[in-house]
Amino acid sequence: MNQKPKTLLLVGVAVVLLGLTGFGVVHHLHGDSHSHDSHFHDSHGPGEASLSLNNGNKWQADEHTRGSMARMATIITNGSSLNDMDAYRGMAGNLKAELQTLITGCTMTGPAHDQLHVYLSLLIPRLEALETAGQVELARREVQEIEILLGTYHKFFS
């Protein structure tokens, strides 16, 4: 079976869905369903998605995803002493570019991929908030939230 029409359809759906968030990233969606033995809830806000482990174990991420996540962590670390909004907007742009790289090069499938989507649904709003923060103090708080989320990634993915 030719996968190209299916992939194009899924990319189109993803563009529409993620475009509604105002972030405009592109990703392919997979419809795999699965159950979870153990759920861990992120407490950043009401109604947000939850991450779960793979029967008590971390999900296996592909090398591409691990590399993108490491580069995002480096962007945050290198910007730990920023003092003006232009610098924070630059950081947000760099993080968004790396997220786009992660998304366009993703090769993950199945339940691990689904959990990556859950994780990204927590990360993307924080990147958006950093990009639109109007004050240095707000930007610093968003960077702290992003740093926490980048640490959370390592609790659920290897």
Which stretches of the chain drop beneath a pLDDT of 50? 1-46
The reported pLDDT for the residue numbered 46 is: 46
Judge whether 56 lies within some domain: no
Domain of residue 142, residue span? 65-158
What's the distance, Cα to Cα, between the start and end of the chain in Å?
32
Q: Side chain identity at 70, as an amino acid letter?
A: A
Helical residues (DSSP H) of the chain, grouped into ranges: 4-19, 63-78, 85-104, 110-132, 136-156
Judge whether 34 lies within some domain: no
Judge whether 83 lies within some domain: yes
Judge whether 75 lies within some domain: yes
Judge whether 133 lies within some domain: yes
The reported pLDDT for the residue numbered 49 is: 52
| Cβ contacts of 120 within 8 Å, gap of 6 or more | 27, 99, 103
Domain count, the chain: 1
Mean pLDDT, the chain, rounded, equals: 77
Neighbours of 70 (CB within 10 A): 13
Tokens representing residue 83 in the block? 């003092």
Judge whether 101 lies within some domain: yes
Judge whether 58 lies within some domain: no
The reported pLDDT for the residue numbered 154 is: 95
CA distances from 47 to 29, 43, 44 (A): 21, 9, 9
Tokens representing residue 2 in the block? 């030719």
Q: Is 124:132 a contact under the CB 8 Å cutoff?
A: no
Judge whether 103 lies within some domain: yes
Whether this prediction's pTM lies above 0.85 is answered by: no
pLDDT digits (tens, 9 = 90+) for 47-79: 555 899 999 999 999 999 999 999 999 999 998
The reported pLDDT for the residue numbered 80 is: 80
